[in-house]
Amino acid sequence: MNMKLAGGAALGLATLLVLAGCGSGGSGGGGNDQASGGGQVTLKMVAADYGDGPGKPNSGETFWKGVVDEFQAANPNIKVDVTVINWNDIDKQVATMVQNGQVPDILQTGDYSGFVGDGLLYKVDEVLSPNVSGDMLQKFAEFGKVDGTAYGIPFVSSARALFYNKDLFSKAGIAEPPKTWDELKAAAEKLKAAGVTQPFGLPLGQEEAQAESFLWMLGNGGAYKDASGKWAINSPQNVETFTYLKGLVDAGLTTPNPGTKDRKTVWEDFGAGKVGMVNGGPMSIPIFDAAGMKNYGIVPIPGKSGPLDTTLGVMDWIMAFNKNGHAAEIKKFFDFFYTGSAAQKISDLYKLLPVTNGGLQKLAGDEKLKPFLDALPNASFYPFQDHQWPAVSAAIKQTIGGAVADDPAKVLGDLQKTAEAAG
């Protein structure tokens, strides 16, 4: 989850402008707001791919085609053209679209706040019915607000926990999963001695380094901001945290070269039995299942002195751009998504958690999801509401992995300067 940065913006923009939407029944996405005949409105939507890419059974194209086909059958005068982009490219491609004035009507991705300052988004109450917004998990919906006004609509959510390989633990003679950093290090040393190549899976590559880092910061009372709302990336707690992590890396107790490793790669290694422990979420489970990994446990993430009493609450967002003036049609699509089967289907397919009370009730009996559902009410969040978070998050993704290869204080200090310079 969450936005990723990559190159190829010019090619990406061209691709977005020529790709036909997954739900097209007639003319493709040629740039006209009105389709020929009958005054049909075409909504252009850009969405992130939660699946394994084009052509795969769980691809975003396949998911959205099902949603759009059902919606268009019920709303024949509204066409929805969906372009699905992988997480590594979506930030850059959307930024290029906005710069060129080619904004979509709907965007589903990892953040919304960067568009608010430029006045590009509809307010939530303009594109979502009160009965739908009233069913949203309140703590999550609050993070869709900037200066008291809601612009971002929570799309899916997740929480994090520690997964551990029970077979490898048994082989290494580890009786219980770790609750503290000292216990985690001791378990990692036993796993290494038993021949496990990656005792702890540590993905600090550009895909989602900001998430893995935040989990470790929480374990030492740290965060990206302090209680007063000031940037605290290089706080003493965070420097101590990354010094501890660097010690694990230097001792060969983690994924080799963590700063170059993405979470999906590390999760696949866990599924293949190469990793003893890894932080993950419900969306990890299909990857483990596909690899045949069955005998694993899920427990709260260890902190410096005990298990975390919070977790990283992750939300992705859906939002509506106001340039094309299609608020009424967008509202129909949003209401359809949240009140019909679509939101449930995305939870079933990708093991992501819903963002409505009704959705959580439907999943209450899923034992695999229970640790994460239980963790959601006490979740901690990124500083979504800060207009500068997208820029700071991008910098974190690109450089924080260096904190376990270089001087932690220097790397975190440079990120602190970047954050403060951003505003």
Q: What is the CATH number of the domain that holds 58?
A: 3.40.190.10
pLDDT band at 143 (very low <50, low <70, confident <90, very high): confident
On whether residue 294 sits in a domain, the answer given is yes
Same domain for 36 and 130: yes
Structure confidence at residue 416 (pLDDT): 98
pLDDT band at 379 (very low <50, low <70, confident <90, very high): confident
Structure confidence at residue 71 (pLDDT): 96
Range of lowest pLDDT (4-8, 203-207, 364-368): 4-8
Helices (H), 200-278: 209-218, 236-250, 263-271
pLDDT of residue 390 exceeding 80, the answer is: yes
On whether residue 324 sits in a domain, the answer given is yes
Same domain for 332 and 308: no
| pLDDT > 90 fraction of the chain, expressed in percent and rounded | 68
- How far is Cα 320 from Cα 329, in angstroms, rounded to an integer? 11
Same domain for 257 and 193: yes
Structure confidence at residue 34 (pLDDT): 43
The candidate with the shortest Cα–Cα distance to 143, out of 313, 286, 294, 22, is 313
On whether residue 200 sits in a domain, the answer given is yes
Same domain for 246 and 204: yes
pLDDT band at 2 (very low <50, low <70, confident <90, very high): very low
Q: What angle do CA 351, 197, 163 make, to 5 degrees?
A: 25
Structure confidence at residue 323 (pLDDT): 95
pLDDT band at 155 (very low <50, low <70, confident <90, very high): very high
pLDDT of residue 16 exceeding 80, the answer is: no
pLDDT of residue 26 exceeding 80, the answer is: no
pLDDT band at 304 (very low <50, low <70, confident <90, very high): very high
> Chain-wide mean pLDDT for the chain?
88
Structure confidence at residue 7 (pLDDT): 24
Range of lowest pLDDT (60-69, 364-373, 406-415): 364-373
| Average pLDDT over every residue of 289-300 | 92
CB atoms within 10 A of CB 170: 12
The helix (H) or strand (E) run that includes residue 88 is: helix 87-99
Same domain for 280 and 319: no
Better-scored residue on pLDDT, 309 or 127: 127
Better-scored residue on pLDDT, 203 or 368: 203
Same domain for 16 and 133: yes
Same domain for 344 and 259: no
Range of lowest pLDDT (22-26, 45-49, 410-414): 22-26
Same domain for 321 and 305: no
Domain count, the chain: 2
Range of lowest pLDDT (145-154, 292-301, 344-353): 344-353
pLDDT band at 186 (very low <50, low <70, confident <90, very high): very high
On whether residue 3 sits in a domain, the answer given is no
pLDDT band at 32 (very low <50, low <70, confident <90, very high): very low
On whether residue 29 sits in a domain, the answer given is yes
| pLDDT > 70 fraction of the chain, expressed in percent and rounded | 91
Q: Is 397 exposed, middle or buried (0-12, 13-18, 19+ CB in 10 A)?
A: buried
pLDDT band at 235 (very low <50, low <70, confident <90, very high): very high
What residue numbers bound the domain in which 365 lies? 9-158+314-378
Better-scored residue on pLDDT, 37 or 129: 129
Same domain for 402 and 259: yes
Structure confidence at residue 406 (pLDDT): 95
- What token pair was written down for 267? 């999760």
* The model's pTM: 0.72
Calculate the alpha carbon distances from 405 to 218, 286, 368, 416 in Å: 21, 31, 35, 18
Same domain for 54 and 197: no
Same domain for 225 and 254: yes
Structure confidence at residue 98 (pLDDT): 93
On whether residue 39 sits in a domain, the answer given is yes
Same domain for 186 and 63: no
